[in-house]
């Protein structure tokens, strides 16, 4: 995170950076392929870092191949570091429920397997309460034709994904999957949440 702050050309001194890091929060989300989810959240105002990774599985240091085989129990996720004074947890979760289908168990479109399950992995009690309240509201309002199956759990056993997965959409905007799946999600976010775009 310090490298991120300095690379942005900031004139902050070490004390300012410490205070800034003290106020940042971490939220981890599984909404299908992490290339797509990352492509959206890097554009959200107040989200300072997005990292693709694997969470809530059993093994240590899982590889992409291990996760894809379903051997580890991990979910493909993005881990967000954000400034709650610029974007609140509720807004991040509203985006999450817009850009994926929370009613399909272990599946997003043509991607299927436990690594594609819908999941919110919280780092504090406020995030947990916010997630549970929003799911209850969406359910009561009948927003989806089927039940929401999103799991809401404490973040556990998180590992960053391999380097080639990071910033994948930005580096490969014309790759077939990015064009067919990620780009429409980005467009949907930008249209619905224009006020939250960077």
The CA–CA distances, whole Å, from 129 to 74, 83, 101, 120 equal: 23, 18, 21, 11
CB 178 within 8 A of CB 39: yes
For helices 89-99 and 34-41, the axis angle rounded to 10 degrees is: 130
DSSP string, 173-194: TTSHHIIIIIHHHHHHHHHH-G
Closest CA to 76 of 28, 148, 132, 131: 28
Annotated catalytic residue, options 33, 36, 130, 178? 33
**33: annotated active-site residue:** yes
Sign, Cα dihedral of 104, 143, 178, 87: negative
What is the C-alpha to C-alpha distance for residues 153 and 120, in angstroms, rounded to an integer? 6
**73 φ, ψ (degrees, to nearest 5):** 80, 0
What is the C-alpha to C-alpha distance for residues 96 and 87, in angstroms, rounded to an integer? 13
What are the catalytic residues? 33
């Amino acid at each position: 995170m310090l490298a991120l702050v300095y690379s942005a050309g900031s004139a902050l001194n070490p004390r300012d950076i410490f205070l800034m890091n003290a106020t940042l929060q971490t939220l981890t989300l599984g909404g299908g392929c992490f290339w797509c989810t990352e492509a959206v959240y890097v554009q959200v105002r107040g989200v300072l870092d997005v990292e693709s990774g694997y969470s809530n599985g059993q093994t240590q240091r899982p590889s992409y191949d291990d996760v894809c085989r379903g051997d580890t129990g991990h979910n493909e996720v993005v881990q967000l570091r954000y400034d709650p004074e610029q974007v609140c947890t509720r807004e991040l979760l509203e985006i999450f429920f817009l850009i994926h289908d929370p009613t399909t168990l272990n599946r997003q479109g043509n991607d299927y397997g436990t690594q594609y399950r819908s999941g919110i992995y919280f780092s504090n009690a406020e995030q947990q309460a916010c997630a549970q309240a929003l799911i209850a509201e969406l359910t009561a309002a009948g927003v989806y034709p089927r039940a929401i199956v999103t799991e809401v759990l404490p973040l556990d056993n998180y590992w960053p994904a391999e380097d080639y997965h990071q910033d994948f959409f930005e580096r490969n905007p014309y790759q077939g999957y990015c064009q067919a799946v990620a780009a429409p999600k980005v467009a949907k976010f930008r249209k619905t949440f224009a006020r939250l775009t960077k």
